[in-house]
Chain A
Amino acid sequence: MNSSTLRRIGFAIAAPAMALAVALAVSSIVLMISGSNPIDSFSDMAKNASKLETSIDILNRATPFYISGVAAAIGFRMNLFNIGVEGQYLLAAFFASVVGGAVNLPAVLHVSLVLIVAMSVGAAWSGLAGVLKVTRGVNEVISTIMLNFIATGGIIAGLIVVWQDNTGQVNSGTTPLPKSGRMPDLNSWVEIFTRDIGKGRRLTGVLLIAIAVGIAYHLFINRSRMGFEFRASGYNPFAARAGGIAPKKMVLSAMVLSGAIAGLVGMVEVLSDNYRYDQSFVRGLGFQGIAVALLGRNKPVGIAVAALLFGFLDASAGALQVSGSASREIVVIMQATILLAAVVAYEVVNRLKQKDEAKTASALLSGSAS
């Protein structure tokens, strides 16, 4: 391994390490101010995470974070800020639940249908923002925020009343998916290697979809021609245009793809948890995805690490409360400080890296001249 490879690896590791150290330091201070012992709290979190059931919990939480992170990252790679993952996944989950609850099909087909509906709805909703940008120049940040409100406050709120399942439940929601539309859990796979999973914890089958999304995202963005066009447009849209990459086509494809992936975010809940869309359907995953994508630098593996970290922190919240070593809000503070520290650390490391590169190149130049 030569020194330039080592350097690259060093630069890659430096930023997250810095961010984590800063976050730990800040959280410790907050813990001390609020009268808790940071060492106790952190050891409680670690102890909790080492339990098998908690690992399952972390994976279940990380799965939608990851999908949501990838959805946001697709836009970010092109400097498109799709803030609308939130609305896209909720609308997609709603329609997917309605369709999934209304039909009876063989298992594989049923699940596939739900997935296709979810991706199509997400893609269409996000594509709308893309069309507005391409034809009317509407900034995607504004249009996607507006579309979030229309999706949740307008369409879902209006239709859920019409399409709700009146089988006597208090919490109004869609008709639950029949057995054939549910994704089996992965407990039996895990239990090959471990003891039996207790406490009724079930590892979501959607994890497999998340892994597939990650692999597809990697192949697309790093290995495909279109992925190259995405990245080139993100680096420099003018150079990309002069290089024959049609900017409007790129914007539209990015929004549609991002939305299609966003459509899958709610599938953990629909296919493997609640099997329906109701008033208490999980919210906020879209915004978590933005944080996860930022933390993971829009890279397939980076997003996975970030999603697991956020999943771990979320899962720790309950443990902290139970053990009484700290309040659960500390977790939110940690997530925020990690994110903030990461953004700063990446920028710092990036500048160092640029300097280093320029130095090496100019050194070589004057070297070859002398």
Chain B
Amino acid sequence: MANAIELIGITKRFPGVVANDRVNLAVERGEIHAVCGENGAGKSTLMKILYGMQPPDEGQILVDGKEVKLSSPSDAIDLGIGMVHQHFMLADQLTVMENVILGSEPMKHGLIDFAGARAHLAEVTESYGLAVDPDDLVESLEVGERQRVEIIKVLYRGAEVLILDEPTAVLVPQEVEELFRNMRNLKAGGTSIIFIDHKLDEVLEIADTITVIRQGRTVASVKPDDVSAHELAELMVGSELPSPQTTESTVTDDVALDVNGLTVLDSDSRAVVDDVSLRVRRGEIVGIAGVEGNGQTELINAIVGTEPQSSGEISILGNDVSRADVGKRRELGLAYVPMDRHEEGLLLAAPLWENAALGHHTRAPFAKGIWFDRQGARAQTERIRDEFDVRTPNVEVSAHALSGGNQQKFIIGKEMVSEPKVLIAAHPTRGIDVGAQAAVWQNIRDARADGLATLLISADLDELIGLSDTVVVMLRGRLVATLDPSDITPRDLGAYMTGVAVEQEAS
């Protein structure tokens, strides 16, 4: 039987360079095929070619053994190829069903045939075992559920080949399990899935075949049983691997960030952060572990100052900032790497040098009195680019032109270059590749050695254990355990996070 998808010798050139160099990819019917590679390795270009968003310069695309030309995504959809993008494209104010049919509404007598749509939707969701209530408003859904709606949307249009672009980047562990369950169901139903991912454990768990792309070329196509995560990562970066291990302790006695009895109430006056006290000393990394939605976001928002706290004290380097605004806290040396770089981290449409200024624009080299120092900003941005290896043609391009990993390196760079005293880092390596991840870890470790106090939130338990000097566990708004990362495993940590294990001694 012919392969569901076969790409042969795909070459894509951009002025002066080759993004894809004779790439081959063969996806069997009913297979989960992972495509791995660093950011900038050419995965996205390849997927854009397969989804008809860009034409290849050379090479063939075969669908079910027949050569095809794709000049737009609608060509791809007609051939049964669907794509779920990393950033969801859903209308929040519409229901699940309305979102699913949006753009391909079934018509009857000049009106939308809702009954027909409902029946078809039920058919799709049942046959693939994707649980969803068609009448829920999308805005009321969790991230994992939204992703399911995106997948259903593609299946509803008759997709037999599904491209998932980094689907787990936005999910918490339980949601990832759910996604994988759904993927296995789809596979059982004969759907082929092309799956882009950075997290090697996940790839090894779910994929039937793994194709590794490095520097625009296919370097290997392997079966998960034949490789370890370590070998896979080496294939991706082509060199020895970094690990998140922090070396010797640099913890001092000076408390840089002191949080005392902090409580944050939500709109229903429920305590989402409940009497939390913690201290981060200079040279220390305190990791916060917790299943998402247990108050970590609200905790960091309150510390950064973007959400009001209802009681408790926060002080930075001995200055009480409980009532201070974000700007004041930043001037005292607070740096913040937000969890969603597109939402809170970047001015996507603005040039890099303006992005670099954000959060630091009241101080040199970005400010000169009441004026904004454009020369200073450009020079500083060039420094960030060079020191933090941000790959960009120049500092005038807008932030959205950079790839995800480079955006993240840029955000870390712009926060670190100002030599902050306290860093709040939320998921600093989420959705970026091994190479960029290693760079981010190294930056945090270097700053720690220089006396930076870091509060780290991460869903990556290896990262938390590997980087932190102390790990605290947050459960239902409270800190329930303080652990020494040197003698816990991710499994232990998971037990604390879900409330199965309870700390014996008082902390």
Contact = CB atoms under 8 A, between A and B. Distances in A.
B443 to A, nearest CB: 19
B465 to A, nearest CB: 27
B327 interface: yes
A350 to B, nearest CB: 9
B344 A363 contact: no
B316 to A, nearest CB: 13
A161 interface: no
Contacts of A10: none
A369 B344 contact: no
Contacts of B15: 359-360, 363
Contacts of B485: none
B477 interface: no
Contacts of B103: none
Interface residues of B, number: 57
Given A360-B401, A364-B17, A238 B344 contact: yes
Interface stretch (A168-176, A183-191, A206-214, A226-234): A226-234
Nearest to A219: B371
A365 B349 contact: no
Given A231-B354, A363-B16, A369 B346 contact: no
A243 B346 CA distance: 10
Interface residues of A, number: 36
B359 A359 contact: no
Interface in A353-370: 354, 357-370
B343 interface: yes
Given A229-B361, A239-B358, A243-B358, A354 B398 contact: yes
B434 interface: no
Contact of A366 (B216, B325, B398): B216
Contact of B391 (A224, A241, A365): A365
Contact of A243 (B44, B361, B406): B361
B377 to A, nearest CB: 9
A368 B435 CA distance: 14
A362 B327 contact: no
A360 B14 CA distance: 8
Contacts of B176: none
B372 A223 contact: yes
A345 to B, nearest CB: 18
A236 interface: yes
B347 A236 contact: yes
A370 B215 contact: yes
Contacts of B348: 235-236
B41 interface: yes
Contacts of B361: 225, 228-229, 232, 243
B370 interface: yes
A6 interface: no
Interface string A123-153: 0000000000000000000000000000000
B359 A243 contact: yes
Nearest to B21: A370
Contacts of A224: 370-372
B10 to A, nearest CB: 13
Q: Which of B19, B44, B403 is most buried by chain A, counting CB atoms within 10 A of its CB?
A: B19
Contacts of B402: 361
A242 interface: yes
B372 A239 contact: no
A361 B352 CA distance: 12
Nearest to A229: B361
Interface string A239-280: 111111110000000000000000000000000000000000
Interface in B351-406: 354, 357-359, 361-362, 367, 370-372, 374, 391-394, 396-398, 400-403, 406
A361 B15 CA distance: 11
B167 interface: no
Nearest to A246: B325
A287 B186 CA distance: 56
Contacts, number: 143
A244 B326 contact: yes
Given A225-B370, A232-B347, A235-B350, A363 B327 contact: no
A4 interface: yes
Contact of B400 (A242, A246, A358): A358
B17 A367 contact: yes
A245 B359 CA distance: 8
B17 A231 contact: no
B393 A369 contact: no
A359 B326 contact: no
Interface in B235-288: none
B330 interface: yes
Contacts of B330: 243-244
Given A238-B343, A354-B400, A366 B371 contact: no
Nearest to A227: B372
A239 B343 contact: yes
Contacts of A241: 306, 326, 344
B413 interface: no
B156 interface: no
A245 B325 CA distance: 9
A370 B38 CA distance: 13
A354 B397 CA distance: 9
9 tightest Cβ-Cβ pairs between the two chains A and B: A244-B327, A363-B14, A367-B17, A243-B359, A243-B358, A235-B347, A361-B401, A365-B40, A244-B326
Interface of B: 14-19, 21, 38, 40-42, 44-45, 215-216, 304, 306, 325-331, 336, 338, 343-350, 354, 357-359, 361-362, 367, 370-372, 374, 391-394, 396-398, 400-403, 406
Given A228-B361, A236-B346, A242-B306, 20 more contacts: A4-B393, A223-B372, A224-B372, A225-B367, A228-B372, A235-B348, A238-B344, A239-B347, A241-B326, A241-B344, A242-B304, A242-B336, A243-B326, A245-B327, A246-B327, A354-B398, A358-B400, A360-B397, A362-B14, A362-B401
30 contacts: A223-B372, A224-B372, A225-B361, A225-B367, A225-B372, A232-B347, A232-B361, A239-B338, A239-B343, A239-B345, A242-B304, A242-B345, A243-B326, A243-B358, A244-B325, A244-B329, A354-B400, A357-B401, A360-B14, A360-B15, A360-B401, A362-B19, A362-B45, A363-B14, A364-B391, A364-B392, A365-B403, A367-B17, A369-B41, A369-B215
